[in-house]
Amino acid sequence: MPGSIRASGWGEAMARTIETVAEEIRSPSPGAMLRRRIFGHYGLVFGIAVLTIIVLIALFAPLLTSHDPYTQDLMARMKPPFWMAGHDPDHLLGTDHLGRDYLARLLYGARISLAIGAVAALISGLIGTAMGVAAGYFGGKVDLVVTFLINVRLAMPVVLVALAVVAILGGSLEVVIVVLGLLLWDRFAVVMRSSVMQVRDLEYVNAAKAIGCSVPRIVLSEIMPNVLNNLIVVATLEMAHAILLEAALSFLGLGVQPPTPSWGLMISEGKQMMLFEPWLIAIPGVALFILVLAINLLGDGLRDVTAPENRG
């Protein structure tokens, strides 16, 4: 009670100091404010929750189903999923045209999508960040060269080039990951270039230069921590991009090859029978949609939370 403090004979200045200190204690810490922003952002909470569930499913797939995603059972082909008549309680989501358990293929398929998304985003992130940081930090000729390379990359049709290269090298999980990683660095380079440009002339960077820090040290310990939030946002969005592209390549028959349980491949195999059994394409399609939705909401949410002024 400020009034009672004043009344009890304390000096006016003293009372004001106590009030300021109390106000500081009462106001939330930066960490608490960040937590409040995160949990107040429904999209972000949804994204984190769903993505965590999918990662857990991918990690513990063998514990969640007793079926093997590769084992064929020609006696039990095309069993319908649980909501349709004539389903088999042993195969909750039915079986495909080779009698493989659809639930097992769906659960193991999460591993393929997540691995492709994560590793492709990592490769393209390393390439794009190196190029973008170099362009943003050094400017001048380096910037000209990097900007030119970004322009060349943007001009090339991603799907077409990826399809052609995978067709030449032969489709496999590793080839698809590397090809996507080598193609999707453009947004990393664009965003890193402009965010590094914004911080490279700030006082603390100049201070580090003045005390004689080496370039790698300035970049790693002065610049990178301040552009990291942008990097993470781009990484999530590119991960979603890579997952969608893998699905499209596998759907067109020039990505991950059978019998790998890729969701894109499952849709491609189900396409032959979608006339009579539309659930064959509905199940993997919905899984793909939910995964990409969760990653996108996570990325959008992180952008809103780390830079509330950029909300748009």
Partner 1 sequence: MLAFALKRLGLAVLVTLTVSLVSFSLLFMSGDPASAIAGENASATDIEAIRTLYGFDRPFLVQYTDWLFSALRGDFGQSYYFKLPVADLIADRLSTTMLLGICGISFALLTAVPLGVAAAVRPNSFIDRLALFLSVMGQAMPSFWFGLVLIVIFSINLGLLPPSGSSSWKNFVMPTVVLGYYAMPAIMRLTRAGMLEVLNADYIRTARAKGASEWRVMFKHALRNAVVPVVSLAAVQMGFMLGGSIVVESIFALHGAGYLAWESIARNDLPTVQALILIFSLFYIVFTFLSDLANAWLDPRIRVG
Q: Which of 123, 135, 231, 254 binds partner 1 (CB under 8 A)?
A: 254
- The 3-state secondary structure of 126-190 reads HHHHHHHHHHHHHCHHHHHHHHHHHHHHHHCCHHHHHHHHHHHHCCCHHHHHHHHHHHCCHHHHH
Task: Confirm or reject binding of residue 102 to partner 1 (CB under 8 A).
Answer: no
Task: Confirm or reject binding of residue 248 to partner 1 (CB under 8 A).
Answer: yes
Measuring CA to CA, which residue among 127, 140, 113 is closest to residue 58? 113
Task: Confirm or reject binding of residue 308 to partner 1 (CB under 8 A).
Answer: no
Taking the least distance from each CB to partner 1, the nearer of 30 and 312 is 312
C-alpha 183/C-alpha 82 separation (Å) is 41
CB atoms within 10 A of CB 15: 16
Q: Which of 1, 13, 25, 155 binds partner 1 (CB under 8 A)?
A: 155
Taking the least distance from each CB to partner 1, the nearer of 64 and 165 is 165
Q: Among the candidate windows 75-83, 90-98, 209-217, 247-255, which touches partner 1 by CB under 8 A?
A: 247-255
Instruction: Give 3-state DSSP helix, strand, coil % of the chain, rounded to 5.
Output: 75, 0, 25
Taking the least distance from each CB to partner 1, the nearer of 1 and 168 is 168
Measuring CA to CA, which residue among 141, 127, 123, 98 is closest to residue 192? 127
Q: What are residue 101's phi and psi, to 5 degrees?
A: -65, 125
Measuring CA to CA, which residue among 130, 128, 174 is closest to residue 153? 128
Name which of residues 160 to 199 contact partner 1 (CB under 8 A): 160-161, 163-165, 167-169
Q: Provide the minimum distance between the beta carbon of 101 and partner 1 in the complex, in angstroms, as a whole number.
A: 22
Q: Provide the minimum distance between the beta carbon of 274 and partner 1 in the complex, in angstroms, as a whole number.
A: 6
Query: Tokens standing for 179?
Result: 């090809």
Taking the least distance from each CB to partner 1, the nearer of 56 and 169 is 169
Query: Tokens standing for 155?
Result: 């001009």
Q: Which of 22, 278, 307, 308 binds partner 1 (CB under 8 A)?
A: 278
Task: Confirm or reject binding of residue 53 to partner 1 (CB under 8 A).
Answer: no
Q: Provide the minimum distance between the beta carbon of 158 and partner 1 in the complex, in angstroms, as a whole number.
A: 7
Collapsed DSSP state (helix, strand, coil) of residue 47 = helix
Q: Provide the minimum distance between the beta carbon of 93 and partner 1 in the complex, in angstroms, as a whole number.
A: 17
Binding site residues, partner 1, CB under 8 A: 148, 151-152, 154-161, 163-165, 167-169, 240, 244, 247-248, 251-254, 264, 267, 271, 274-275, 278, 281-282, 285, 288-289, 292-293, 296-297, 300, 312
